[in-house]
């Protein structure tokens, strides 16, 4: 029996309880381990609402909000602030992100852009040396690596526009978790140990992440964050502008000035999030909504789905050589276009209608042969104009009244720049690395950027974050997204295809092995669990296949016939889906 044969409406209970599925191997693959653990492939089920986040404490407080009558946006904002406390390596108030909100009653799907911005004094060559070479250390591990944070303003905007709670009410669980602390799991302890060298360079980071004697916290220790609690209290009492114009802003600006950075108090005071129209496409009778620029994710999700709709993916089979081949070919072409055209639409013209048009997809599909791989060096960004007419946190939430939220936010690397704002208790992002430090030079995720994504004052850097909501017959159907840097887009694509093409339940859809291709480097990256025979077939077509670590953490949910199904991605040990 293969995972492709497991429909989403059917559980594995009978097979597992009967002991029908066993694996005589010493080191199970990701997919096999998921089956051995049983519950991994059983979605959480509810008739009143669902929460799926990357930390069970955030899931708990968000579920409580829904249980007490709050809507999905109330729960999302509460979870967002809670994750800033429980998952500081990626959850944040020092970074930024994107939120999609779908309201069945109004029929509206809106995109909230709270991506970070470059400081007003930023300039195109700020991360280059005297020889004009890009210097990655400057865009990643310095105070100048930080864009102006947007999370506080963005979450507050979502709450004010679409929620029912006050900001103080939404912040209360996060404040409590920061003050009283929480018990540390293995993943948290491992993360601090692995990032110790970077964190120990900065006084604020040493104070936050290490004990007074400089030693590491251990599993089971209680982790308290008094400086962060004080910051959250100020925001609760004075509103979101406190972060941008109050004491918190003063602490950020002072630290920037002490370290010769470009960000100023004026940059903070001038920051505003934006409400945008999401990218939209259709796939096999479903409406697909995903984040628009400055995220590249939604544009290229629609582009790749348009290409893949021309193939009978279900008949080709889940993770068969043919399916992986056409997926990789579609991915190559989308990422090639990303390198040329995508950027902040407030600054550059992006041919969105052309890239997402079916006519352009037909042209790209005509270039794909089923008999051989197309070498990436023979693929250049296409011409959509004639058709013109990893560390991140994602969570998905839906309530019983037709509202759904898909949210992805980040400080970029795990622990961002590694720099904690002294006296404020939160990490600064290093999102400036997502700009093209020099057009044509890859960033930390190997992504190539062009002139459209060059550094400019007050510009938002390009992102791969892809919060996505799929609707069926006008109803919310699938809410998904993922962390994972350049792999976010392809992870989200595969969760969607697993549900729509392969009829998987949502827990199966987020658990099974994934693949990734981003044009350059010219290789298919795969997780464990892909058959050696399939790999051999792909290689015979001319693909280079590289087995690497797990990709993404797609906390997702699905709604069908009034029933909510939650899928917590097993790639993160603290992930949790909870229904009411």
* Domains of the chain by residue range: 3-45+276-391+464-579, 49-94+125-274+409-453
- Number of neighbours of residue 154 by Cβ within 10 angstroms: 27
pLDDT confidence of residue 8: 36
- Sorted by sequence, the CB contacts under 8 Å of residue 578 that are 6+ apart come out as 44, 50, 51, 52, 56, 59, 60, 62, 63, 566
- Angstrom distance (rounded) from CA 554 to CA 492: 7
Residue 142 designated active-site:
no
Cα–Cα distances in Å, from 32 out to 490, 499, 512, 571? 22, 19, 9, 13
Q: Taking Cα atoms as reference points, which of 417, 450, 519, 493 lies closest to residue 147? A: 417
Cα–Cα distance measured from residue 127 to residue 139, given in angstroms and rounded to the nearest whole number? 6
Percent composition of the chain: helix, strand, coil (DSSP 3-state, to 5):
40, 15, 45
Mean pLDDT by 10 residues, the chain (580 residues): 32 26 31 43 94 97 98 98 96 96 98 98 96 93 98 98 98 98 96 96 97 97 98 98 98 98 98 98 98 97 98 98 98 95 95 96 98 94 67 94 98 95 98 88 71 95 96 98 94 98 97 96 95 97 94 96 97 93
Q: Give the pLDDT confidence score for residue 384 in this predicted structure.
A: 84
User: CA dihedral defined by 572, 304, 385, 484, rounded to 10 degrees?
Assistant: 10
CATH architecture label of 3-45+276-391+464-579: 4-Layer Sandwich (3.60)
Q: Is the separation of the CB atoms in 332 and 517 below 8 Å? A: yes
Alpha-carbon distance 286 to 276, whole Å? Answer: 21
Q: Is 412 annotated as a binding residue?
A: yes
Does this model's pTM top 0.75? Answer: yes
pLDDT value of residue 38: 40
Residue ranges of E strands in 433-513:
468-472, 475-480
pLDDT of residue 442: 73
Instruction: Tell me if 113 is assigned to a ligand binding site.
Output: no
416 is in an annotated binding site: no
From the number of C-beta atoms within 10 Å of its C-beta (0-12, 13-18, 19+), residue 310 rates as middle
Q: Is 130 annotated as a binding residue?
A: no
What is the structure's pLDDT at 149?
Answer: 98
Structure tokens at 417: 């720049």
pLDDT of residue 2: 30
Instruction: Confirm or deny that 187 is annotated as ligand binding.
Output: no
Binding site annotation covers 576? no
Q: Tokens 């590289």 — which residue? A: 546
**How far is Cα 188 from Cα 390, in angstroms, rounded to an integer?**
17
Are the C-beta atoms of 54 and 87 separated by less than 8 Å? yes
Residue 411 is assigned to a ligand binding site: yes
Residue of 78, 151, 264, 392 with catalytic role: 392
Residue 166 token pair: 């006050």
Q: What is the pLDDT of residue 521?
A: 92
pLDDT at residue number 548: 87
Query: CB of 247 within 8 A of CB of 222?
Result: no
What element of type H or E holds 392? strand 392-399
């Amino acid at each position: 029996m293969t995972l492709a044969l497991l429909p989403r409406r059917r559980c594995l209970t009978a097979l597992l309880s009967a002991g029908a599925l066993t694996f005589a191997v010493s080191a199970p693959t990701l997919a096999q381990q998921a089956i051995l653990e049983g519950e991994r492939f059983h979605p959480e089920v509810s008739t009143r609402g669902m929460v799926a986040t990357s930390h069970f404490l955030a899931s708990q407080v968000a579920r409580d909000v829904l249980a007490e009558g709050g809507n999905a946006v109330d729960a999302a904002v509460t979870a967002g602030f809670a994750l800033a406390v429980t998952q500081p390596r990626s959850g944040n108030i020092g970074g930024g992100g994107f939120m999609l909100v779908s309201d069945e009653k109004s029929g509206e799907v809106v995109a909230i852009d709270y991506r970070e911005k470059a400081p007003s004094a930023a300039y195109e060559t700020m991360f280059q040396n005297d020889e004009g070479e890009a210097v990655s250390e400057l865009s990643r591990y310095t105070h100048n690596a930080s864009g102006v944070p947007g999370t506080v303003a963005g979450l507050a905007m979502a709450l004010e526009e679409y929620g029912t709670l006050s900001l103080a009410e939404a912040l209360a669980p996060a404040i409590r978790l920061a003050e009283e602390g929480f018990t540390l799991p293995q993943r948290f302890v491992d993360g601090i140990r692995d990032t110790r060298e970077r964190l120990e360079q900065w006084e604020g980071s040493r104070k936050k992440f290490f004990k007074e004697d400089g030693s590491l916290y251990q599993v089971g220790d209680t982790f308290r964050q008094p400086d962060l609690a004080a910051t959250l209290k100020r925001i609760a009492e004075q509103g979101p502008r406190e972060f941008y114009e109050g004491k918190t802003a003063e602490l950020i600006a002072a630290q920037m000035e002490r370290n010769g950075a470009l960000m100023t108090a004026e940059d903070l005071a001038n920051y505003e999030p934006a409400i945008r129209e999401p990218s939209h496409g259709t796939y096999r009778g479903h409406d697909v909504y995903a984040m628009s620029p400055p995220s590249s994710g939604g544009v290229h999700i629609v582009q790749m789905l348009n290409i893949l709709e021309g193939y009978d993916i279900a008949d080709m089979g889940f993770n068969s050589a043919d399916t992986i081949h056409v997926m990789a070919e579609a991915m190559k072409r989308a990422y090639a276009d990303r390198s040329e055209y995508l950027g902040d639409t407030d600054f550059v013209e992006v041919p969105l209608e052309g890239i997402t048009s079916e006519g352009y997809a037909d042209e790209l599909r005509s270039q794909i042969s089923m008999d051989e791989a197309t070498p990436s060096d023979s693929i250049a960004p296409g011409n959509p104009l004639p058709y013109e007419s990893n560390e991140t946190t994602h969570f998905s939430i839906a309530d019983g009244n037709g509202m759904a939220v898909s949210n992805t936010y980040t400080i970029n690397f795990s622990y961002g720049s590694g720099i904690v704002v002294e006296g404020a208790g939160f990490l600064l992002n290093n999102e400036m690395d997502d700009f093209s430090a020099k057009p044509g030079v890859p960033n930390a995720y190997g992504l190539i950027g062009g002139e459209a994504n060059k550094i400019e004052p007050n510009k938002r850097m390009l992102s791969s974050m892809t919060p996505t909501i799929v609707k069926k017959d006008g109803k919310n159907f699938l809410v998904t997204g993922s962390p994972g840097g350049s792999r976010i887009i392809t992870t989200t694509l595969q969760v969607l295809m697993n549900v729509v093409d392969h009829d998987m339940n949502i827990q199966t859809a987020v658990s099974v092995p994934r693949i990734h291709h981003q044009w350059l480097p010219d290789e298919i990256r795969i997780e464990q669990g892909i058959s050696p025979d399939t790999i051999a077939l792909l290689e015979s077509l001319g693909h280079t296949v590289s087995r690497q670590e797990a990709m993404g953490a797609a906390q997702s949910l699905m709604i069908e016939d009034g029933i909510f199904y939650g899928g917590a991605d097993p790639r993160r040990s603290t992930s949790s889906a909870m229904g009411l």
